[in-house]
Amino acid sequence: MQDQFPKPHVAKALLPHAFDLRDGAHDEAHLLRVWRNVERIASEEGGDIEILLAATLLHDCIWIDKGSSQRHMASRLAAAKARDVLTGMAWSDDRINQVCHAIEAHSFSACITPASLEAKILQDADRLDAIGFIGVARCFYIAGVRKASICDAVDPAANDRPLDEDLFALDHFQTKLMKLERGFQTMTGARLAADRSAHVKSFYNGLLAELS
């Protein structure tokens, strides 16, 4: 798989550290999709490719279930592990810090504002994989793993009940997926997000129409 990335020697060294645990929404295919998003954004916005590569490959290296109260700590824990890995590879402190900040800031639940171009690109690239058709697929996959229902049988749009994404996959569209478009950091990421967000909204409205 390292041949799918630039600097194959770096990818080969980092891929064994990319996951402790994984699921079908956070796996090698996810890494490759995020990297392709990174490349597309960086081709227009710039950025240090080696920093971006390391941050992409290690951004999910610590897995915490989305239902855990520690979920907001996942990116910080991943950054700490990345620091150990890159220190062992004799990276400079400055470049390690750049990678770690990008990893910490990529997470939606961490609420850390990206301060560097590389951090902005990784955050955008990862969020692009949470919207569009792939975002819809990942949403329902995770709901299935967690034994959630597709939607509430009586009130799928949550018109007269509180939203509960832990119980109903469709509620996650309102709590997160249809809001992600607003938070993109780069002009390129925002442009790509607008197209994908339109797909999410179209699916949501189409499913509600069928249910009604």
DSSP state of 176: I
Q: How many CB atoms lie within 10 A of CB 37?
A: 22
Whether residue 113 contacts residue 45, with contact meaning beta carbons closer than 8 Å, is answered with: no
Q: Is the fold of 1-112 the same as that of 130-212?
A: yes
Report the length, in residues, of the chain. 212
Q: Would you state the pLDDT for residue 63? A: 85
CB atoms near residue 46 (< 10 Å) = 12
- Cα–Cα distance for residue pair 54/102, rounded to 1 Å: 10
- The pair of structure tokens assigned to 114 is 């990206």
d(CA 167, CA 129): 22
Q: Are 74 and 103 in contact, with CB atoms under 8 Å apart?
A: no
- Give the span between the Cα atoms of 14 and 179, in whole angstroms: 32
Mention every residue, 6+ apart, whose C-beta is less than 8 A from residue 73.
64, 110
List 168's β-bridge partners, or say none. 149
What is the model's pLDDT at position 71?
74
150 touches 168 (CB < 8 A): yes
CA distance 66 to 143: 10
Other CB atoms within 10 Å distance of the CB of residue 160: 7
pLDDT at 76: 93
Would you give per-residue pLDDT tens digits along the chain (212 residues)? 777 787 788 889 999 999 987 788 889 999 999 999 999 999 999 999 999 999 999 999 998 877 777 777 889 999 999 999 999 999 999 999 999 999 999 988 878 999 999 999 999 999 999 999 999 999 999 999 999 999 999 999 999 999 999 999 999 999 999 999 998 999 999 999 999 999 999 999 999 999 98
- Per-domain residue ranges of the chain: 1-112, 130-212
Q: What is the pLDDT at residue 133?
A: 96
Buried b (16+ CB within 10 A) or exposed e, 64-77: bebeeeeeebbbbb
- Which CATH entry fits the domain spanning 1-112: 1.10.287.3510, 3.40.50.1370, 1.10.3210.50, 3.30.830.10? 1.10.3210.50
pLDDT value of residue 24: 86
Which fold would CATH assign to domain 130-212?
A: Hypothetical protein af1432 (1.10.3210)
User: What does the pLDDT read at residue 65?
Assistant: 74
What are the phi and psi torsion angles at 178 (to 5°)? -85, 0
Torsion angle of C-alpha atoms 203, 143, 181, 34, degrees rounded to 10: -110
